[in-house]
Each structure stands twice: as structure tokens, then as C-alpha cells.
Amino acid sequence: VVAQLTGLRFFIEPESFFKPPPINYNPRYRQFIQDCAVLIPALISFFMKTDLTINSWRENAFFICLLIFVVFLPFSEALVSIAAGILLFQALALSSWKHPSVPHGSVHDLLLILSVFLVYLIGMVFTKDISFAFYELKKVIFWLVIPVAFFISPHLDRKRFTAVTAVFCLSVFLASLVATGRMLFSEQMAMNGFRSIFPVSHIRFSFQLILAMILTAWLSRSSFFASARTRKWLVALLLWFLVFLFLLKSITGIIAFLGTVYLMLIIVAFRRKRWQVRFAWLLLMVLLAVVPLLYVGKVWHDFYSIQEPDPDTIERFTPSGNPYSHNFSSREKENGHWVNLYICEKELRQEWNEISSIKYDEPDGSGYTCSGTLIRYLTGKGLRKDSTGVSLLTPEDVSAIEKGIANHIFAGHPFSLYPRIYETIWEYDRYSYSGNPNDQSFSQRIEFVKASLLLIRENPLFGIGTGNWKLAYAETYKKMNSQLRAENMGPSHNQFLNYLVKFGIAGFLFIVTVLLIPVFRGGHRRNLLFILFLIFIGFANFGDANLETHMGLSFFCFFYSLFLWHSPEEVKETRF
């Protein structure tokens, strides 16, 4: 594509650009291949500002592998695995070639990082399920692959470090554009649910967005982007990342971002000498804390602002004279209205069957009975569940109900955070009165945390070991009399609790220590990029077990190793 654009063929003959290449290589296609053969090495040489000699191939190979990794990171889990393998292969295959060495003594830092994997190996002493233990080892193999690849590879200079961070930000930007397009045309592309628009986990992608924001802010101040126009584009990119993070509606990612910003503001505020500046920073901190709380409070108020029904005065008949059904013992609610009041199934069935191709007693797009979705939808709009209520539904409402959308706030609001917060409150409310957490993300997490705390109390020092969590959690849920179905039983979505459950207090403290020691010993106390990266990962690990997922661990190991061993001196001396 680059060769075609460079040769101006797209602009001269745009129709030929989109034609598939012929089977027999005609002169035009042969010329295209020749252009690629000449242009690609030229671009690499120009971009890296180096001659393609035998002495520079070592550095070039490492640099190109880093670019491949960051390009794949927002797009494909499988390609990230391949990129990690390529990264290690080039490091091992070319390790005997001359290159700038890593700082003296840092081999101890490498051994400390690799010892995290050793903890999993030691944990196998206690395993009761050897096959699942090996599966866990395979999941965390990035603790070995990526740090070793970075350690024995040449040290990146400032230009290449900047290039890797810039390409990562560009890749995240392109992935966000792809996701936006899928979001806007989700119906035409037959995508079910918001999360299906992302090629990788939306939670893990939110972490990439946060790091992209940090790196974009740093790039906008870097001397490599001296022109005012370039910096304006970087600021615009930063704002897009911020907006898209909230469009993504990942509660874990948003909390990690806000927590990082809040902690950074505290540090900045207390480093200011003038009291007026310190007061302004503190005021900003208060606003940053209060505004999200007020927003969540509004959603909470909308959900719970409900009056208790009076059985003596409540209406008993519909305008058509048919009796209503009232269940006063039910605590189910939608948008401040009781779900199981004012229901006349006779009128609902008759009126709905006349306006919809999906009948009242048939399953809707979500697989649940259409009647239940219809009743909840009418309740959320403040309508009674009778023929009058159904007659007030718009064609858009009917379409949403047929798809299985049970509340109008989830229909037609793909960019709003309100529905995501509402969903969490709804799940908590349903769990609080029924005790049933199944098929509800937030409610299931509460059960996971309860089970994790019980396991930690029973195995406080060394934990349950590697490969045992399925058996241990199953027994614990049985002790708790949990209503969780077997297929929904799982460990805590909290990395710190997971380490405490598997390896106990001793293992948890060891892992945290061996990850922090290289940071301080490597002179990164003022490395703003590294510190912010660790802070937001720390907040993120309260909301998910990121270091035991494929994309979460590969992302962490890659940038941890990059910042630890390849941060330029300019970055290591960045001040708040």
C-alpha cells in the first residue's frame, strides 16, 4: 500500500488500485513488487537513521520486533503471542552479536522478575490437579519470555524508544477508530452486545488507552515533536483517548484512570510552594472526586426514588375493565418503578401480538421470554403493563424489546456511561434481595470476593498452591451455600486477592517486592512514565486479575521491561 501511494498510482489510476492481483504477474504487478523490495528497506533505514550494515542488524531486529508487538497489541491476542515469540527468538538467535549492554548488575533485576514464575513452580508442590497447574503455568509464561527478550537485547536509544511509544499510541488510536465504526454500525454488522465490537478484551483495551494517554502527554512535551502544529495534534489525540475511555464504559478502566490522576494531583499539590497554586490543585482534586460521585448518586437516586405501594388504595382494574395483577412482596424495580405492579397479561398478550412478529410467549433476541422483557421495559418507562401502555410504545421501543433490551436507557445510548452505572446498581439491588448472583457481573464479583476472603482466612501463610483454585473455590462456594451455578464459579476478579489465595501472604509480599526492587535500584524514582504505569496497573488490579490473563500479562511485562531497561535518561529524570 505504501509503495502504491508513494508511486502515486492510487491517485492516477484509483480503479486499478482495488483490483485483485492477476495470477500471471503482469508488468504493473511486477513493478509493485519491485517498489516494495526497494522502498521497505529504504523506509526502515530512513526511520531508524542508520545504515543497514552487519553491525546494526542486531539493533534493527530488536526495534522492528518491538514495533510489531505494539502494533498487534490492541488488535489480536493470537498475534501478540506470535510477536512475543518472535521477540524472544531474535534475542536468542542474535545474542552473540555486538550491541550496547544493559547496565552492570541488572542481571539481579532479571532474576528477581523471573522469580515470579518460580513462585508458580513452587506452588505446584501443593497441587491436586497437575493438568490444570500446567495450564496456569502456560498462562503466565510471559514472565519468562518478555523480560528475557528485553534483557539480552540491545539498549534502545532515545529516538527508538520514542518511536516505539509513538507507534503504540497510533495503534491504539486506529483500534479505537475501528471500534467506533463497529459501534456505529453494530446492527448492520450483526454484532450482539457492546463488548463484541472489540477484537480484544474491552477491559484490557481500557488499560492500553490509559497508557496511550500518558505517553501522548509525554510525547507532546518531547523535543522530537517541536512544531506547534504537531503538538496540537497530539493534544487532540489525548482528548480523543480520554473521551473514548468513557465511551468504552469499562468501570475498571475508568476507576484506574481516575485513581491515577487523583494520586498524581496529590503529589503535584504537595510539591507546590505557593499556597495559591496548592489551593488551586486541591480544589481540582475535590472536583475530580465529587463530580463522579454526584453522577453515580444521580443514577442511584433515579433507581431508588420509589414509593411503597398501598394495597388499600391501589387501582385494581385497567381502563378497559380487566383486573390488574399486583405482587406486593416482589422487590424488583426499574427506574424507580415496581416491576410486578399493574400487570394485565391478557391485554399485554393481545396488544403485543398485534404489533410484533415475536409473540408474547416466545423467546426474544436475548433468549429470554419476550413477556418478561416487555414488562420490564414498560416499567422502566413508567407505563402500566396493559393495552394502554403497549399502545404508547414507539417502533423503536418495539424493536428494542424484540432484541431483548429490557430497559429503554440501554436502547439508543451507545456512548453514555449512565446505562453502565445503572446496570451495576440494578445487579446489586437484585442480588441484595434475592441472593442470586448468576448472570450478573457485579453480583458474581461480590460472591468471588467472599469466597476469596474465606480461602485466605483458611490458608493465610502459603495459600492453596498452583492449579488448585477450581477445586478450592468449588468447596468454598458449597460451604457458603452460594446460589452460583457451577459454570459461573470462579476466582476473585482482583489480582491481589488472587495472589493471596494462591500463594498466601508470603507469596504475595514476595511478588510485590521483587517487582518494586528493580524500579528503585534502577534509578526510576523520577521516571514519571514508569511510576504512572505502575500506579494505574495497581488500581486496575483491584478490579481484575490482569496479571493472570493473556493480554493483561503480556501488556504489563512488555512495558514494565521497556521502562525498566530502556528508558532514556530524559525519561528517568522527568519531574511531576
Residues 125-134: what's their mean pLDDT? 86
CA distance 492 to 500: 10
What are the grid coordinates assigned to 379, written together?
416499567
Query: 30-58 pLDDT, tens per residue?
Result: 554 455 455 445 444 444 444 444 446 77
Query: 226-275 pLDDT, tens per residue?
Result: 677 778 888 899 999 998 888 887 888 888 998 888 888 887 777 777 77
Query: Residue 116 contacts by C-beta under 8 Å, 6 or more apart in sequence?
Result: 140, 143, 511, 514, 515
pLDDT for res 46: 44
CA distance 37 to 2: 12
CA distance 113 to 557: 10
pLDDT for res 118: 94
CA distance 56 to 54: 6
Q: Please name which of 398, 420, 425, 424 lies closest in space to residue 409, comparing C-alpha atoms.
A: 420
Find cell 385497567 and name the residue.
Answer: 318
To the nearest whole number, what is the mean pLDDT of the chain?
Answer: 82
pLDDT for res 188: 59
Quote the pTM value.
Answer: 0.79
Residue 101 has pLDDT above 50, yes or no: no
CA distance 255 to 351: 44
Query: Residue 510 contacts by C-beta under 8 Å, 6 or more apart in sequence?
Result: 115, 119, 503
Query: 435-475 pLDDT, tens per residue?
Result: 888 878 888 888 999 999 999 999 999 999 898 888 899 89
Say if residues 165 and 219 touch (Cβ distance below 8 Å): yes
Residue 172 has pLDDT above 70, yes or no: yes
If DSSP states are collapsed to H, E and C, what string results for 76-91? CHHHHHHHHHHHHHHH
pLDDT for res 93: 78
Find cell 414509593 and name the residue.
Answer: 307
pLDDT for res 50: 43
Query: Residue 418 contacts by C-beta under 8 Å, 6 or more apart in sequence?
Result: 299, 409
Q: Please name which of 305, 378, 394, 303 lies closest in space to residue 340, comparing C-alpha atoms.
A: 378
pLDDT for res 207: 92
Q: Please name which of 21, 23, 27 lies closest in space to residue 1, comparing C-alpha atoms.
A: 21
Distances (CA, A) of 219 to 109, 127, 159, 230, 541: 28, 47, 12, 10, 26
If DSSP states are collapsed to H, E and C, what string results for 232-256? HHHHHHHHHHHHHHHHHCCHHHHHH
CA distance 506 to 282: 38
pLDDT for res 190: 54
Q: Which helix (H) or strand (E) holds 516?
A: helix 495-521
Residues 331-336: what's their mean pLDDT? 88
pLDDT for res 417: 78
Q: Which amino acid is at 447?
A: E
Distances (CA, A) of 155 to 60, 91, 149, 152, 161: 11, 12, 12, 9, 9
Residue 209 has pLDDT above 90, yes or no: yes
CA distance 283 to 576: 18
Residue 327 has pLDDT above 80, yes or no: yes
Collapsed DSSP state (helix, strand, coil) of residue 363: strand
pLDDT for res 186: 63
DSSP character string of 379-411: HHTT--BSHHHHHT--HHHHHHHHHT--SGGGS
| Length of the chain, in residues | 576
pLDDT for res 12: 34
pLDDT for res 83: 92
